[in-house]
């Protein structure tokens, strides 16, 4: 395509969408067919979300389709739990594979037949070397490999051995089937790669039917070809596998010849996106499970209360490029905050309560006051909140000996209680240990609703609060980054774990209406951040997770101050 005719790149368009656009324009493909090919050996993380948004997004935008294909070629590591979680997570992210749920295992018989064809054509052989011998003969980036002593076996012997491998006659690791390409190739992937290994293991779908399983490299491209994938999108580390991907397609009677394109994987500061490490975090009990809200998994984000659109927006803002880079985790938080600021209703909660008694407020049932649900969205309306003689304020909002710039509560100081009244601190009550346990205050009845009194008196601070009678106890969980360093050392990740990644506040008080907050619908606790009920929250024990703070408190957190 000449520069004059190449389509203008639209905003938000990337090099892969450019290729798809050109392929449609040139008539090469009427519509793209893509696939997301997870291996079910762990839960999906936000790196996978990038691949999901790209593959499903392209299918949607260009009127094509996207398959969900499980790359289930290694039953030693794969489990039904992972298969189920992956489907749920892709759906939750907002994508639908329709009829096109596939498995590499659907093609095991075809892949096997093609392997026999490779043998018959002199393109594959059974190697009896041990894994160590094979590794030693592979060579290095600068030295060629050495041919296997079994490389020139005759077709009949190869076929016989391969069939007996399939029949389960040999123990694990005794033999492999290898492609016969070039042990001196500059590309190590072409040095007679393994196509099949012996593995006596039950498979979630094929049970014990197979004693041999295909390698990723052998299964992947052929699965693409069988499904008629047009654009096989993968991350950069597969660029060196592309010649092998094409070698198989060129040497087998496949029904189509997909093309592979590579893009940069997503990396995020303070975050590990390696399934191996995430698995170890779970198995080692460093987190409460795959859906622990500190995990960068889709399940973790969901449990934390992050809406799927925030993840899609974040992925969109990162873009798709050919060069690797690391995205600042604050960009992810900003995307979450942007959605929640727009959508989350405002409520009041006190994380670390300090009792405040209003001495001149009448004893009795108290009163109902109006509180608005969203300052920027009048259609969200208002609600009634209870006010009474005893309320709770945030312990951090009081200081007995405040520094000059501290405008909140201190002895003699007047502040506004949001939606309620002006109150003045008259007395501080302490326990035997000298700890402040209660504030005695007075209020000005002429400031009802939090309004300025007739004398025009001003205050310098507005505090959130809940009334003792109109609030419920709750446990609140605050999350900080799981790792201390911006680029965690994945070889020794345990040493890099942030000991303050989870802070549990057992004695919080929340507005009574929050008892029926819906899971997955975050609310803003005024002045505190966005919070969402945990999966384990029940009416008897309310538990809320902090989804994200109000501002970027990240730098402060990392400097050792608890947010």
State the nearest-atom distance from the C-beta of 36 to ligand ATP, in Å. Answer: 6
How far apart, in Å, are the Cα atoms of 29 and each of 15, 16, 212? 17, 14, 36
Binding mask 216-235 for ligand ATP (x = CB under 6 A): ------------------xx
Element (H, E) at 15: helix 15-25
State the nearest-atom distance from the C-beta of 27 to ligand ATP, in Å. Answer: 28
State the nearest-atom distance from the C-beta of 376 to ligand ATP, in Å. Answer: 34
Given 265, 286, 383, 440, the residue binding ligand ATP (CB under 6 A): 265
Q: How far apart are CA 475 and CA 479, in angstroms?
A: 13
Q: Which residue is nearest to ligand ATP (CB)?
A: 47
SS (H, E, C) 287-302: CCCCCCCCCCEHHHHH
Nearest CB to ligand ATP, comparing residues 12 and 445: 12
Written as one string, the DSSP assignment of 84-115 is HHHHHHHHHTT---TT-EEEGGGGHHHHHHHH
Angle at alpha carbon of residue 101, lines to 95 and 107, rounded to 5°: 145
Q: Which residue is catalytic, options 265, 355, 426, 484? A: 265
Interface with ligand ATP includes 87 (CB under 6 A)? no
> Which among 335, 341, 342, 343 has a CA at the least distance from the CA of 310?
335
Q: Check if 265 is active-site.
A: yes
Backbone dihedral region for residue 366 (phi beyond 0: left; psi -120 to 50: alpha; all else: beta): left
Q: Check if 39 is active-site.
A: yes
State the nearest-atom distance from the C-beta of 178 to ligand ATP, in Å. Answer: 21
Binding mask 33-72 for ligand ATP (x = CB under 6 A): ----xxx-x-----xx-xx---------------------
Q: Which residue is catalytic, options 65, 166, 275, 303? A: 275
State the nearest-atom distance from the C-beta of 265 to ligand ATP, in Å. Answer: 3
Given 273, 299, 327, 439, the residue binding ligand ATP (CB under 6 A): 273
Given 66, 266, 393, 409, the residue binding ligand ATP (CB under 6 A): 266
Nearest CB to ligand ATP, comparing residues 48 and 103: 48
Nearest CB to ligand ATP, comparing residues 212 and 273: 273
What tokens does 45 get?
């993380």
Element (H, E) at 65: strand 65-70
**Could you give the 3-state DSSP secondary structure of residue 313?**
helix
State the nearest-atom distance from the C-beta of 186 to ligand ATP, in Å. Answer: 24
What tokens does 51 get?
């691949």
Backbone phi and psi for residue 408, each to the nearest 5 degrees, phi listed first: -85, -150
Interface with ligand ATP includes 503 (CB under 6 A)? no
Other beta carbons within 10 Å of 124:
26
Stretch binding ligand ATP (CB under 6 A), from 31-39, 90-98, 378-386, 530-538: 31-39
Q: Check if 275 is active-site.
A: yes
How far apart, in Å, are the Cα atoms of 162 and each of 244, 278, 326? 21, 36, 45
Catalytic residues: 39, 265, 275
Interface contacts to ligand ATP, rule CB under 6 A: 37-39, 41, 47-48, 50-51, 234-235, 265-266, 273, 275
């Amino acid at each position: 395509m000449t520069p004059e005719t190449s389509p203008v790149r639209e905003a938000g368009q990337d090099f892969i969408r450019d290729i798809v656009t050109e392929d449609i324009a040139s008539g090469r493909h009427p519509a793209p067919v893509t696939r997301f090919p997870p291996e079910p050996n762990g839960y999906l993380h936000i790196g996978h979300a990038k691949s999901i948004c790209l593959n499903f997004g392209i299918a949607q935008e260009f009127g094509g389709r996207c398959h969900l294909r499980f790359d289930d070629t290694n039953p030693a590591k794969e489990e039904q739990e992972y298969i189920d979680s992956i489907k749920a997570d892709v759906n939750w992210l907002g994508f639908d594979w329709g009829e096109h749920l596939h498995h590499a295992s659907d093609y095991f018989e075809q892949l096997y037949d093609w392997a026999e064809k490779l043998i018959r054509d002199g393109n594959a052989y059974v190697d009896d070397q041990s894994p160590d011998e094979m590794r030693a003969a592979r060579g290095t980036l600068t030295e060629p490999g050495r041919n296997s002593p079994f490389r020139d076996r005759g077709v009949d012997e190869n076929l016989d051995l391969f069939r007996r491998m399939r029949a389960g006659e040999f123990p694990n690791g005794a033999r492999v089937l290898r492609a016969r390409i070039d042990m001196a190739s500059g590309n190590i992937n072409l040095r007679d790669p393994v196509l099949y290994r012996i593995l006596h293991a039950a498979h979630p779908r094929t049970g014990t039917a197979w004693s041999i399983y295909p390698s990723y490299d052998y299964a992947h491209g052929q699965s693409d070809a069988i499904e008629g994938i047009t654009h096989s999108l993968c991350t950069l580390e597969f660029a060196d596998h592309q010649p092998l991907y094409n070698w198989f397609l060129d040497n087998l009677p496949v029904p189509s010849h997909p093309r592979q394109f590579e893009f940069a994987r997503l990396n995020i500061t303070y975050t590990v996106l390696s399934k191996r490490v995430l698995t170890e975090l779970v198995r080692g009990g460093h987190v409460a499970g795959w859906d622990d809200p500190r995990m960068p998994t889709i399940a973790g984000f969901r449990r934390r209360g992050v809406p799927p659109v925030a993840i899609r927006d974040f992925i969109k803002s990162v873009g798709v490029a050919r060069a690797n880079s690391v995205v600042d985790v604050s960009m992810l938080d900003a995307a979450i905050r942007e959605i929640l600021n727009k959508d989350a209703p405002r409520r009041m909660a006190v994380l670390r309560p300090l009792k405040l008694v209003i001495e001149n407020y009448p004893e009795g049932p108290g009163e109902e006051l109006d509180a608005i649900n969203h300052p920027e969205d009048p259609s969200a309306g208002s609600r009634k909140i209870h006010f009474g003689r005893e309320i709770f304020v945030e312990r951090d909002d009081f200081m007995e000996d405040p520094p000059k710039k501290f405008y909140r509560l201190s002895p003699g100081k007047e502040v506004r209680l949001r939606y309620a009244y002006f109150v003045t601190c008259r007395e501080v009550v302490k326990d035997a240990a000298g700890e402040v346990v209660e504030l005695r205050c007075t209020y000005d009845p002429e400031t009802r609703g939090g309004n300025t009194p007739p004398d025009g008196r001003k205050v310098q601070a507005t505090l959130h609060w809940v009334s003792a009678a109109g609030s419920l106890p709750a446990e609140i969980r605050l999350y900080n980054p799981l790792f201390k360093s911006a680029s965690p050392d994945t070889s020794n990740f345990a040493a890099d774990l942030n000991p303050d990644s989870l802070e549990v506040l057992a004695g919080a008080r929340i507005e009574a209406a929050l008892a029926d907050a819906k899971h997955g619908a975050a609310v803003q606790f005024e002045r505190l951040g966005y919070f969402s009920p945990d999966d384990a929250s029940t009416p008897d024990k309310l538990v809320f997770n902090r989804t994200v703070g109000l501002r970027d408190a990240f730098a402060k957190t990392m400097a050792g101050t608890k947010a």
